[in-house]
Structure 1
Amino acid sequence: MFKDTFSVLLIEDSNADYRLIQEYLGESQSPSFQISRSADFSAGLSLITNESPDLVMLDLSLPDRAGLEALSEIKRRFPQIPVIICSGAEDKEITVNALQIGAQDYVYKGKFDSYSLSRSLVFAYERNRLALELEKKNVFEQENEERYRLFFQYNPHPAFLFEHDSLKILEINRAVLEKYGYEEKDLIGKSILQIFELSDFDKVKQEIIFFQFGANQASSFVHKKKDGEKLIADTTVYKFRYQNQILDLAVVTDITEMVRNKESILATLAEKDALIQEIHHRVKNNMQIMISLLNLQADNAMSRNLTAKELYNLLKDTESRVFSMSLVHNELYKSNDLSHVDFHSYLNMLLENLWNLYGVGLKIKHLVEAQGLVLSMNIAISLGLIVCELVTNAIKHAFPDGYEGLLKIIARCELGSTIVTIEDNGKGIPKEMINKNHETLGLQLVNILTKQIQGKLHLEILDPGTKFEIRFPEQKGAVEKKL
């Protein structure tokens, strides 16, 4: 069982390094660490004698004793106390020599965080405790049992024990079976390369050769599960001698989700950039459309001697046209699909606005039937302006004061075409006025916009009422979804 609290003596002359290590170990709550410090080697020996700390962290560049000589002196005088070297120099030869002299671990300054440092101390203490017990008992079988308990039974991460030269797997823990889906017979006696992607084989061999006597190094590889699923794993290998044989212990941490989350974040940022550019493009195009509409309205107004009321009505018409365009974007950004508009919802909101502008006090009902129809943004803007013009004309002219009636808009897909009809049962358009009406600004816009979507406009005089039908190719942006 691990201890709840560890006493640690830090022999370190750097105040900055001392404060950093103190801060890191202070973040650990289970277990916790009680830290004392000596700035020189001589005082450190006295503290070891007086306090008998659980662990000693030793800097190899002390003012009164430098290098591995300080480590040798501590191990000679206090062989039962585990020592962890904490050095700023990444020298592989010194690391190997320190571990051979008896250091339990070798950590590089600036290369660890709170979690890895506390884990290193706990494992160093446990390894040392086991070594002392085994030395007292002098039972070799007990050593294997304790190592297995420490590195396999209680390790939540998959762990593989394998021969260094042949790469043959000797032992695996239960986490391997759970994570990879193999049975023991699938792996024991087989090469450790079996769990790696073929493209990583050379890299794996080079990394294993580089690992030295317990100085753990972590590298990321792509592993294969039994069912063929791939996972991205940080693989840390510990090397040690056992019965005159060099063995490697590989401990695996699955970082697949972390990597995918990172990729997802990067993809989201890319989508955001693309969306900003698309919004900029859409706003620019819509501003150009609005400018064109205002220019047409201005030209129309200049050719007529308008009263203030007529000018006010022209501005209301412009307001309704701008609203029909902005409503498309409102519908786009309410949904997850930023390229298509729910046309049924759009029509209902458009008619509600037109009724507020023109239909207050009128006894006219309206009906929309376009369930399941979605349109591309560009088609929706053009068709929305068409509907706006035709409905506005119907409200203004088809129903005199007190006239009760019904206005219907029906949109559907049929035989490769999308058909939108705007029909009312009002007083209708007199035949002699049809050509004249086609010369008005509103109907000029309707004709222009119908051509833009490669559509055809058909006018039918009813008894009573008027019916406009716009038919355009379905591939131009309309899709009927089944509800």
Structure 2
Amino acid sequence: MKGGVIHVLLIEDNALDALFVRGSLTGTSNPKFELRRADGLATGLSQLAAGGVDALLLDLCLADSEGLETFRKVQAAAPEIPVVVLSSEDNGEMAVAAVADGAQDYLVKGHYSTDLLTRSLRYAIERKRSQRTLHELAERLTHHVENSPMAVIEWGANLDIIRWAGEAERMFGWTPEEVLGKQRGAFPLVYAEDEASVAEVFARLYSGGNQKCFSANRNCRKDGSVIHCEWYNSSLMDAQGNLRSILSLALDVTERKHAESGLSLANQQLQRLSTDLLRSQDHERRRIARELHDSTAQILAALSMNLIRLQKSGGEPLKKQALLAESIELAASSSREIRTLTYLLHPPLLDEIGLVSALQAYAEGFNQRTGIDIELILPSDFGRLHSDLESALLRIVQEGLANVHRHSGSPVATIQLERDLTEVCLVLQDRGCGLPSSLTAPDSGFVGLGVGILGMRERAEQLGGRLEITSAGKGTRVTVKFPLAVQNEQLAHISG
């Protein structure tokens, strides 16, 4: 419609009927109707194809087409054009059938006025426009529903499934053909233990007491597996308060649930590790205090007493010489004790001549203190690593050998160190009693192994490494690997 003019095409082979239509539309205004006529279907379809038609008046009984087929051909050729059917008195049922097929209205020839004809044409145009808008809206809605990242399930007034779209088939496994028309309890969609809570949600939605709600429960898939889902539900009621439908949007959150469970377990392990580390720190402080009190402090006390006696000994050379000799030995012993304690806290050789020499010196001292033989397999051309990485490897060896001494009962331990272009590998092996299988199972984690091995693992992971423990009933093997490719980047992050 342009400039307030409605362009009407009349397809009518009866000249008298066509003249009546023209007379009815002549002189109309606001809007003005302009009429074109085609005396057959073929001519009319050509004019429709040329465009410029706002509405169509159609006689179903033409020389070149008869009955409903006439309307269907027109609708197929120009589905966007509103059609008002003109019928004779004896073709009323055919006209009604045409309206059922999509015509906007029908008029009986010779029984309409100008007002009725113009009103029918205007209403036909508006209804067609509304239908087009609704059709486009339905198309968009259907597209979004079918392509929704969530499962889209609509339940009818009897809680039977009337829509199964979006991700519903992928999430739950059933096809639309398998579930449409079935009621909620007709197939095992809800996990049995959650059925009561889900039934309560649906009862509130059904009654209208809660027209939108969120719920979360476990659901069953067609293959019997169980998934965790979040449900976003809304109910539509009629004017009398009766249910028309319930729309449910379901989101599979199984992976998130597993991640939350893993995070909760990790937090529990972290809390236990923190407690164990504080306990270990307190134990280490007490041990250092005890070492200082029982050895170094006693030696220094004896040295002080000797110096006092020497000061009071007068002119007895032999007694002075004996006291001096004993004092020198006490001072040397105190020095050795302090060196041993500081070496355990941080071996000075590590900074000066590197990891290999530090391991050799530590193994020798460990053998002297414990009697456990240490077999070293260390390449002579191993070279140097970043100081943080060397310190981590030495600390892991210290803790590992401490565990051998405290727990394994092994008379010998082997330390093997090697490297290539991509990683450095440390292996610590004993021949002792081994570890219980429950503690070395893949899913057992490290908490049950104690704070020592937890500390070893933390040192490895801090620098991008990984620690593995294997035990075959006799002997335990600890393997630690650090990737050298990412060493500089991670060490810079830790240092910065």
Do both proteins adopt the same fold according to a TM-score greater than 0.5, normalized to the shorter chain? Answer: no
TM-score range, shorter chain: 0.3 to 0.5
Instruction: Name the structure, 1 or 2, with higher relative contact order (CA <8 Å, separation 6+).
Output: 1
Q: Flag the structure with larger Rg.
A: 2
Q: TM-score, normalised by structure 1?
A: 0.39
